[in-house]
Amino acid sequence: MSDNNDTGRKRPNILVTGTPGVGKTATASLIAEAIGLKHINVGDLIKQHKCYDGHDDTLDTHILDEDKLLDLMENMFQECADDNKGIVADYHSCELFPERWFDLILVLRTKTDILYDRLTERGYSEKKRSENMEAEIMQVLLDEAKESYDVNIVQELQSNTVDDMDGNVERCKQWVEQWIANNSS
Ligand code: DAT
């Protein structure tokens, strides 16, 4: 993993991404707790601040107001950098964010049968569940991350079991410690 920083930040920012249900929010909140980073659940932020630009009746979803969301997040990133605090954000997409925000992109992956059970438990419709399963099988988010960021900062991690999650948090913690050591001068 690359850990060079030319932004002058004292703490790194991490994005946890992947298909819905792979464990982004669960993992990001554990990372935040274990390392002392600020957790931004981007989906929740969008809802709280109504970052909507109308409604898509065919897909029955709100249309994201990207400018509003990015302005809001830019302020949060600036405030955290001013306080020497790092951020761990989680979202099911990654290409919309400026590359300069993140030092590490974690792409969580889950086996099809396990993801099927999680999405069923979440009450997803059959259509929504199959769309997301297909996206996971086709590694849509991994490709999106590799196209949007330096491949050296993109890490693919398995997220099937609680042990996987604990291991991912521990690995991330070690990476952050190394990043801080490499960037303290
Ligand atoms: P996401 O934010 O990617 O949509 P989540 O964090 O809400 O996913 O997790 C979905 C559900 O799956 C939730 O009940 C927690 C569980 N889960 C997530 N990652 C897991 C893992 N590695 N092992 C076991 N359960 C996990």
Domain layout of the chain by residue ranges? 15-177
What is the rounded average pLDDT for all residues in the chain? Answer: 95
pLDDT in tens, 48-86: 999 999 999 887 789 999 999 999 999 999 999 999 999
Atom of ligand 1 nearest to the CA of 164: 22
As for ligand 1, residues whose beta carbon falls within 6 Å of it are: 18, 20-26, 90, 118, 159-162, 164-165
For 5, list phi and psi in degrees, rounded to 5.
-130, 120
Between the two ends of the chain, the Cα-to-Cα distance in Å is 20
pLDDT in tens, 122-159: 999 999 999 999 999 999 999 999 999 999 999 999 99
Q: In what side-by-side order are the strands of the sheet with 104-109?
A: 38-41, 87-91, 14-17, 104-109, 154-158
CATH architecture of 15-177: 3-Layer(aba) Sandwich (3.40)
CA of 21 from ligand 1 middle (Å) equals 5
Strands 38-41 and 154-158: unpaired
